[in-house]
């Protein structure tokens, strides 16, 4: 019952608004006779989706696997780097500027270089996605591992805890909320990374992802198809983001006191 009410108060209004925008959009396109290659109406976009559904789905799947691999790799590697940073101030001070450097370097500028070194296809796409998604994991996990209540550290010291006990019984579990914040940000970024990667890395004319499809449809002035690609990109990003979000709420239920 409560679920139903939250559905009607939270989900219904934005959906209604969306339907309203679609109607206005379609009306404007028909009324002013806008060329479909400039701005196709929602009906044309829907038609494009229906016509190209298998292609769109296989492209989304390929982009999703690139993004997911990039995300998982960035999370694993970022966690290890943060673990290293938390163990030595010297290492952190020496390497952290380069992590920031990696973050501020425009990925679009170095993507061709990555492809040159790593090659076309999935590995190139994953590499770009990985690099884009890495920094938030490093920054948030390092923060979580190093910011510990000093009184709890005193408590561990009083009980003669060794370095490993402090790390694995205190710092790592204590950093979980921060790690998940980082994961949420990187999950969205990894999708952007995969699409940017596909702009450059493509796959081939047989098997390709959404990024390649965007370039292709744009080049052929199939704007309705392009709109369909953009919609699928957005849905993919949203899907990954909400999955990580729900996973994080589930993992943190003990922190917040939510019923198990």
Partner 1 sequence: MESQLVVAAGLNKYFPSGVQALHDLNLEISRGQFVSIVGPSGCGKSTFLRLVAGLDQPTSGELRVEGHDPLGLAFVFQDATLLPWRSVAHNITLPLELRHEDADERVTQTLELVGLTDFADAYPAQLSGGMRMRVSIARALVTRPQILLLDEPFGALDEITRQRLNEELLRLWQEDHWTSLFVTHNVSEAVFLSQRVLVMSARPGRILADIPIPFPYPRSAYLRSAPEFIRIANGISRQLAHADEL
DSSP string for residues in 23-84? HHHHHHHHHHT--TTT---HHHHHHHHHHTHHHHHHHHHHHHHHHHHHHHHHHHHHHHHHHH
- Regarding 158 and contact with partner 1 (CB under 8 A), the answer is yes
Tokens at 101, concatenated: 């450097």
- What are the Cα distances from residue 203, in Å, to 21, 54, 102, 195? 36, 17, 25, 12
- Regarding 152 and contact with partner 1 (CB under 8 A), the answer is yes
- CB nearer to partner 1: give 5 or 160: 160
Binding to partner 1 (CB under 8 A) within 120-149 occurs at 149
- CB nearer to partner 1: give 171 or 222: 171
Q: Which stretch in 13-21, 71-79, 112-120, 155-163 sits in contact with partner 1 by CB under 8 A?
A: 155-163
- CB nearer to partner 1: give 206 or 260: 260
- Regarding 155 and contact with partner 1 (CB under 8 A), the answer is yes
In the list 39, 176, 215, 247, the residue contacting partner 1 (rule: CB under 8 A) is: 176
Q: What is the DSSP letter of 220?
A: T
Q: How many residues bind partner 1 (CB under 8 A)?
A: 21
DSSP string for residues in 117-151? HH-SSHHHHHHHHHHHHHHHHHHHHHHHHH---HH
- Regarding 256 and contact with partner 1 (CB under 8 A), the answer is yes
Q: Which stretch in 64-72, 102-110, 138-146, 170-178 sits in contact with partner 1 by CB under 8 A?
A: 170-178
Q: Which stretch in 29-37, 69-77, 102-110, 150-158 sits in contact with partner 1 by CB under 8 A?
A: 150-158
Q: How far is the CB of 118 from partner 1 (least distance, A)?
A: 38
Q: How far is the CB of 145 from partner 1 (least distance, A)?
A: 15
Q: How far is the CB of 181 from partner 1 (least distance, A)?
A: 16
For residue 39, is it left (φ>0), alpha (ψ between -120 and 50) or beta?
beta
In the list 174, 231, 247, 248, the residue contacting partner 1 (rule: CB under 8 A) is: 174
Instruction: Please tell me the distance from the alpha carbon of residue 64 to that of residue 30, in angstroms, as a whole number.
Output: 35
For residue 221, is it left (φ>0), alpha (ψ between -120 and 50) or beta?
left
Q: How far is the CB of 202 from partner 1 (least distance, A)?
A: 45
Residue 25 exposed, middle or buried by CB count within 10 Å (0-12, 13-18, 19+): middle
In the list 159, 204, 205, 206, the residue contacting partner 1 (rule: CB under 8 A) is: 159
Q: Which residues bind partner 1 (CB under 8 A)?
A: 149, 151-152, 154-161, 165, 169-170, 173-174, 176, 254-257
């Amino acid at each position: 019952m409560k679920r139903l009410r939250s559905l009607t108060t939270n989900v219904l209004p934005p959906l209604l608004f969306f339907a309203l925008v679609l109607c206005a959009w379609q009306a404007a396109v028909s009324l002013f006779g806008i060329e479909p290659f400039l701005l196709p109406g929602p009906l044309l976009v829907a038609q494009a989706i229906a016509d190209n559904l298998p292609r769109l789905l296989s492209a989304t799947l390929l982009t999703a696997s690139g993004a997911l691999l990039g995300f998982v790799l960035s999370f694993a590697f970022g966690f290890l780097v943060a673990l290293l940073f938390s163990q030595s101030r010297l290492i952190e001070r020496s390497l952290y500027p380069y992590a920031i450097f990696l973050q501020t370097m425009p990925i679009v500028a170095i993507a061709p270089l990555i492809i040159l070194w790593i090659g076309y296809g999935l590995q190139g796409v994953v590499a770009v996605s990985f690099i884009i998604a890495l920094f938030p994991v490093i920054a948030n996990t390092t923060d979580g591992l190093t910011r510990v209540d000093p009184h709890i550290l005193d408590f561990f010291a009083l009980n003669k805890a060794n370095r490993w006990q402090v790390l694995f019984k205190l710092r790592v579990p204590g950093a979980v909320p921060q790690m998940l914040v980082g994961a949420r940000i990187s999950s969205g970024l990894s999708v952007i990374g995969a699409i940017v990667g596909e702009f450059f890395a493509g796959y081939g004319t047989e098997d390709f992802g959404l990024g390649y499809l965007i370039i292709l449809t744009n080049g052929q002035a199939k704007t309705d198809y392009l709109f369909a690609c953009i919609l699928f990109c957005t849905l993919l990003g949203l899907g990954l983001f909400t999955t990580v979000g729900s996973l994080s709420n589930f993992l943190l239920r003990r922190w917040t006191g939510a019923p198990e």
